Every structure is written in C-alpha cells, then in structure tokens.
Chain A
Amino acid sequence: MICAETRRVIDAYVDNELDLRGALEVEEHIAGCPACGAEERVLRELQASARAHLTRHPMPPDFEARLIARLRGDDAAAPVVRAAAEHVSAAGPRVVRRARRAWRWGALAPAAAAVAVLLVAVPRFWPKQSQASVEDAVIAAHVRSLLANHLTDVASSDQHTVKPWFQGKLDYSVSVTDWAAEGFPLAGGRLDYVEDMPAAALVYKRAQHVINLFVWPSKSGSEEPVQRLSRRGYGAYRWSKDGMSYWAVSDVNDADLRKFVELTRREH
C-alpha cells in the first residue's frame, strides 16, 4: 500500500470502518511510514479532543415535560394522519403506492421537499443529474461497496431472505433471484443511494468477481433498451423495464456480464 492510498482511507481506518484486510494493510503501511503515522496520530488527537471538548448543548430544562404534555393532549393527531392516508388509498393503486410512501417516509417527506428546493436553489451543491453523473454515481457505489466494509447489509444466498429484507427499507418491491445454477450465486443485498434516492443493490458473485445490480424506480417511467457503458475499467449495463431502472456493474469480462444481464432481464 502506498501513501496516497493510505491517506484516502485513513479516516475510515481511525473510525474502525475498514474491513479486517483493509485495516491490516493500513496498519502495516503506517508501521513503516512516519509521515502517515503522524497523520494517524493527528487524527486521533483531534478525535479525542472533539469527544472531550465539544459542548453538549443541554435541552431547555422543561422541554421534555412540555413535549410529553403536548403529545398526551394531542394524541388525536395521529389517527387523523392515518385516516387521510386511507382516504387517499381509495383512489387507486398508483395513489396507494404514493400514499404508502408518504406514510412510511412520513418524517422524511418534508426533507424531500427541502432537497427538492435545494436542487433548484443550490445548483453548485446539487448539480442536476445527467446520465453521465448517474453513471458516475452507480460506478462509485460499486467501487465503494468493494472498498469499505460494506458489500452487503444482508448477507445471504437465499432470495427469500434478501427480498423481505428490503421491505420496509424501500417503498417499492424488488424481485430477487439466485442465479447459482447459472454460475452467478447471490451473495446478499444492500441499501445504497443513487441520485439522493435509496436504491436496492443486489450483490452477485462470479468466481472472484462481484456484480452489483442496482434497482430503483425509473424517473421517466419509460422502457429503455439495454445500453452498454464502460468507465474506469468497470463494465456496466443499464436498462429500464416496468417502471424500474436497472444497472449491472462489475469488473468481470463482458461476456459474463452480458450473460448475467440477459438472465436478469428475462426475470424482470
């Protein structure tokens, strides 16, 4: 491991966010490199200092008591929201999905509105996502999943374990198939973010390689044929079908990735 690589992950190392192998590599490098060793010490000092010295602002003394009084008096509010969601759901299946989304992400919906405003108001921080930036985001997500200790949130080759795991975390359902018989065993699933939206990442193995299949509701809703892209040594295929966007990303050879895409498309 060289200094540049070490510096890239040294924060994650100090935060215990690297997997065992990554942590050992950093440790080994630091043992022989005074400059990176000094960087580690400085980071740990800052962390210790922050934990010891940052002001923990106390709540106003009666805040909790006032809140409890208000909640107990205001209990009628919750059924009102529930009734509203049920009322909307009478309008049809598409709206039901939206209503349920609003319910499940109830607390986050205002944030989504805020993010929407930010998208307009702060173009520098929230650049408009072109396809190229989606491509970057998806490939970055793939690389990230290999780097940090974060390939899967649910590690299982059983599609009946992986699929329900996503329920409650996403407002759409993701079909999960294990392709072990075809040489692409399912390794698990992970919740990721693409374009600030939660996306399902299904993780498959092909020999020593990893294939990430990202799935999220497509924005346009239109069907899009398979497109092949490659960037930074990774191959990617994208397509849209039945209202969902799919991206398969891997460093396996193109023939294998194409075979995987064909299998998946037949299923979805």
Chain B
Amino acid sequence: MPDHVASFEQLVLPHLQAAYNLARWLLRNDQDAEDVMQEASVRAFRSFDGIRGNNPRAWLLAVVRNSAYTFLQQNRARELATEFDEDLHVEQALSARAPETPEVLLLRSAQQRILNEAVEALPIEFREVFVLREMEELSYREIADVARIPIGTVMSRLSRARRQLQAAVARREQAGSAS
C-alpha cells in the first residue's frame, strides 16, 4: 500500500467521526451528511500531501465544513441567506417540529431535547462555532481557521449563539412548566 494512503489512514481517519458529527450538525439530516462526507473524504484524500500543518483534525473539519457549505449553496441556498430574526427564528423552528411520542420523551430528558432543538434552530454561522467549541472543544484560533473568519468574529458569534440558546431554553422550560 502506498505511503500516503497509509499516512492518510493514520493521521486523518481517526477524526472521521468528529467530521461526520460536524457535517450532520451543519446539514441537519443523515442522508445529506453522508453524501457530503463521502465527497469531502475523497476531496481530503486527493489534496492530502503528507501532514497538513500540525493539526489534521482541524484540517479535516475545515474540508468537511467547506464541502457542507458548497452543498448548501447548491441545494439549500436559502439556509445560508436567512437573516437571523433574534426571537422568531428559534421559536418557529421549535414549534414546527412534530410532537414526539411519550416513549421517546421518556428516553431523552426534556432538557436534552430542548437544548438539541435550540442548537439545530440556530443559523448556520452561529451553529458551527458553537458545535466546534462545545463538541470539538476547539480553541478560538482553530475555529477561526476552520471557518476562515477572524478570531474577533469567532468571539462575537459564539457569544451571540450562547445568548440565543439561553433565551430559547429559558422560554421552552417556562412553557413546559406552565402547560
């Protein structure tokens, strides 16, 4: 087996799960996430040139993130263009959701479900910094490199994402205890 296949498998593939998770959070459904991952993995392999920088995980996440954006641009451009309405956006996304069965609700705590739905409802540029920070625990510098935005923008998007989530979660919990 040629060297660069071996080193790709050794350096990059350990981060495949993290990359899939990111794609799934950006695209919000399994089929699209799988398609984008297929395409991104092959693209990553073809442009793989030995060790990429010293951070193969951030590099793979960047490739997948870019593929996801390209996919959205071609197929669901509206999601990229949505102007963020501070309150409406999250509320609408939450109320549009089909009610879950009692069994599912029992399996997943209300808090968990509310938080996941609220993150899903964030506009993509807020969702991506939040997921990269809280799920991948990337530093601001790494997030800046993956998303190709300045560190100051990482900081402000993360901050806004958190304020939105706090507000959405608080509203949901209030509504839950009232009903």
Contact = CB atoms under 8 A, between A and B. Distances in A.
A15 B21 CA distance: 21
Contacts of B47: 81, 103, 106-107
A95 B73 CA distance: 29
Contact of B140 (A12, A56, A108, A121): A12
Contacts of B155: 11-12, 17, 148
B158 A71 contact: no
Interface string B16-55: 1100110011000010011001100111111111000100
A148 B159 CA distance: 15
A102 to B, nearest CB: 9
Nearest to A50: B134
Interface residues of B, number: 69
Contacts of A17: 139-140, 155
B143 to A, nearest CB: 10
Contacts of A192: 150
A56 B22 CA distance: 9
A31 interface: no
B33 A57 contact: yes
B16 A74 contact: no
A140 interface: yes
A144 B151 CA distance: 8
B41 A140 contact: no
Interface string A158-189: 00000000001100000000000000000000
Interface of A: 11-12, 15, 17, 42-43, 46-47, 49-51, 53-60, 63-64, 67-68, 70-72, 74-75, 77-78, 81, 103-104, 106-108, 110-111, 113-115, 117-118, 121-122, 124-125, 137, 140-141, 144, 148, 150, 153, 168-169, 192-193, 196
11 contacts: A46-B162, A50-B115, A51-B134, A55-B116, A60-B30, A63-B20, A71-B42, A75-B2, A107-B62, A168-B53, A193-B149
Interface of B: 1-2, 4-5, 8-9, 13, 16-17, 20-21, 24-25, 30, 33-34, 37-38, 41-49, 53, 59, 62-63, 65-67, 69-70, 73, 77, 80-81, 83, 109, 111-112, 115-116, 119, 125, 130-131, 133-135, 139-141, 144, 148-152, 155, 158-159, 162, 165-166, 169
